[in-house]
Amino acid sequence: MALLPIIVAPDPRLNKKAKPVAEVDARVRKLMGDMLETMYLAPGIGLAAPQVGVLERVIVLDLAHEGEEPRPLRMANPELLWVSDEDAVYNEGCLSVPEHYADVTRPAKIKVRYLDENNKEVELEAEGLLATCIQHEMDHLDGILFIDHLTALKRNIILRKLLKAKKAAPQPARDHAL
Ligand code: K1U
Ligand code: ZN
C-alpha cells in the first residue's frame, strides 16, 4: 500500500471529468487500497481518485466511527439509479478544500449501482451521511467540488483563501499545477 498526495484546490486537475474503468482488476484494487490508506490517514470519510491525480471513476468511503471495526466501501463506475424528492442539508468538508465547510443540499436518499473490489455489480440504497458522502465523491468524478454548489460569491471567497494559503506554503514541484 502507498500514501498518495491529495490535490488541493484551486487546481485544474480537480475540474476534469474522470473516465470509467474497464474492469476492477489488480491495478484498480491496488488504487482502491492506496486511496483507503490515504483517506484514513488524512483523516476523511471518503476520497475520489481525481483527488489523488487519477482521472478514473473510483471512490472509497468508510463512515465507521473511531474505535469501531472499519467498514470500507470501494466503488468503481458508480451510477445513481434513483434519488429521492426529499432533500437533506449537510455541512460538508473536503480534503481538497481544507479547513472550509459549508451547507450543501442534496437528495436525502439514493440508490447507487457500482462495481466492487471483485468486479461484482452491486446495488446499494443509502440515506443520511452515507448518501451525502457518495454524492459528494461522485461529484468529484465529474470535476465538481462542494463549493460549486455555493453562490459564486461564497465559492470565490473560499478559492481566494486557498490560493493565498498555497502561495504562502507552495507544494512540491510535482503537485504544483498553478
Ligand atoms: O475530500 C473528500 O471528498 C472527503 C470528505 C468527504 C465528505 C465529508 C463530509 C460530507 C461529504 C463528504 C471528507 O472526509 S472531509 C473530512 C471529514 O468529514 C471527517 C474527517 C474525520 C472524521 C469525520 C469526518
Ligand atoms: Zn471532496
Q: What are the pLDDT digits (tens) for 29-63?
A: 999 999 999 999 999 999 999 999 999 999 999 99
Give the model confidence (pLDDT) of 74-115 as tens digits: 999 999 999 999 999 999 999 999 999 999 999 999 999 999
Please tell me if the CB atom of residue 56 comes closer than 6 angstroms to any atom of ligand 1: no
Please tell me if the CB atom of residue 95 comes closer than 6 angstroms to any atom of ligand 1: yes
The answer to whether residue 170 scores a pLDDT higher than 90 is no
Q: Looking at the domain assignment, is residue 152 inside a domain?
A: yes
Predicted TM-score (pTM) of this structure = 0.96
- The CATH number for 113's domain is 3.90.45.10
Rounded distance between C-alpha atoms, residue 78 and residue 20, angstroms: 9
Helix (H) or strand (E) holding 36: helix 26-41
Atom of ligand 1 nearest to the CA of 94: 1
Q: Looking at the domain assignment, is residue 106 inside a domain?
A: yes
Question: Is 77:114 a contact under the CB 8 Å cutoff?
Answer: yes
pLDDT band at 177 (very low <50, low <70, confident <90, very high): very low
Domain count, the chain: 1
Interval between CA 44 and ligand 1 midpoint (Å): 5
Whether 127 is catalytic is no
